[in-house]
Amino acid sequence: MQINCSELASLADTCPEFPVGLKNGAGARMGSVIYAGLGSAGTQWYALDLAAHPRAWRRLADFPGGPREQSGCAVAGGKLYVFGGAGQIPGSGGTPDTVIHCDVHEFDPAANRWRELNTRSPRSVLGSACVSAGARVLFFGGVNKTVFETLFRDLKAAGSDAERRREIEVAYFSQRPEDYRFADDVLCYEPAANTWRSLGKLPLPAVVGAAVAVDGSQATLIHGELKPGLRSRAVNHVEVAGEILASQAAPDIVAPPGESEQEGLAGAFAGYSNGALLAAGGANFPGAWEQYGQGRTYAHQGLQKTWRDVIYALVDGRWEVAGQLPQGRAYGLSIPLDDSVLLLGGEGRGGEALRCIDRLRWDGRKAHVTPLD
């Protein structure tokens, strides 16, 4: 049986909804405790102990770096680390400036305390796939800080001039994928030494917003944005152990039911359950690849953004449609559990920030979406 978000509210003794709507947030699991916040939750930060009964979200110390979206989050050495994100700072004329942060904050769960570390990422990690790999944290992809901030600087300068704002947006969305200069190297952060370095490039698409799932020393990167409005359709396995990373192309994900092709997904959920790799939800613009193939670099112009509800499973070397989410959903958190994936929050159709929590599990034949028991 599928459970929708409103029905989950009656299951508060099982796994209560998140206290506020959470999209473009950050979070991770440490032991039996899930930590999450930021994004549409502002600076709020919460914890849920899965071993406690009854379960309840507990509000922790607020994040000190100001509201931000799409921050990376990883666990290492008993601490949580939050990397960068997009936010606002005071600007000229009393109007804030939209910026990409490159700071790093450490959260100590035992002390319920944040501290900003004396370091900055050497490039933007906004929109990166963030992977814990032993004592290291790896970042795949990322928005270019200069390109991103220039867009918002130009829009601010245009003020209320609707025609000028439209011209800026059309010019921005009409660029080629390479013009956005998404990061194509693998960035490595070592918390113990508080140091950064590049591990070089892999033959992978330069994307942002890819879903990522980790199984032992293998991370799988699923789709993401090649440019705003146009999704990658590539899936790649990456061995993340050691100094020299290696990648291998994985099979393509099949088209959703009733459609002729797979548009690719941004902000999808992903994880492993009982030996199967699952991918679910995400958002895209149906028809974008067709328009791009016609030479229209503003690939999603005039198209309707769609929040997807299909669940896919990679089984025996091929993807198959494995089930359906209760609703279209993207840009939430995928938290690995022992035999399933916890889907936390996200964005629903129309941009609504969701509070719902679901458990995604593969039973050997199909995927199930249920409350967390």
What CATH class has 1-17+207-373? mainly beta
**What are the backbone dihedrals phi and psi of residue 157, each rounded to the nearest 5 degrees, phi first?**
-65, -30
The pLDDT of residue 13 is 40
Q: Which of 7, 106, 190, 225 is catalytic?
A: 225
Contact present, 282 and 265 (Cβ < 8 Å): yes
pTM: 0.94
d(CA 42, CA 62): 9
Contact present, 209 and 196 (Cβ < 8 Å): no
The pLDDT of residue 242 is 84
Picking from 280, 326, 270, 330, the residue whose alpha carbon sits closest to that of residue 305 is: 330
Active site residue 106: no
- Enumerate the domain spans of the chain: 1-17+207-373, 28-143+182-201
Provide the residue-wise pLDDT of the chain in tens; the chain has 373 residues. 233 333 333 333 457 899 999 999 999 999 999 999 999 999 999 999 999 989 999 999 999 999 999 999 999 999 999 999 999 999 888 889 999 999 999 999 999 999 999 999 999 999 999 999 989 999 999 999 999 999 999 999 999 999 999 999 999 999 999 999 999 999 999 999 999 999 999 999 999 999 999 999 999 999 999 999 999 999 999 999 988 899 999 999 999 999 999 999 999 999 999 999 999 999 999 999 999 999 999 999 999 999 999 999 999 999 999 999 999 999 999 999 989 999 999 999 989 999 999 999 999 999 999 987 6
Pairing mode of beta strands 318-324, 310-315: antiparallel
Cβ neighbours of 316 (radius 10 Å): 7
pLDDT digits (tens, 9 = 90+) for 80-127: 999 999 999 998 888 899 999 999 999 999 999 999 999 999 999 999
Residue type, position 348, single letter: G
**What are the backbone dihedrals phi and psi of residue 48, each rounded to the nearest 5 degrees, phi first?**
-135, 120
Reported in sequence order, the residue ranges of 153-231 that DSSP labels E, i.e. its strands, are 185-190, 195-201, 211-215, 218-222, 225-227, 230-231
Cβ neighbours of 365 (radius 10 Å): 9
Range 28-143+182-201 has CATH code 1.20.1560.10: no
The pLDDT of residue 243 is 84
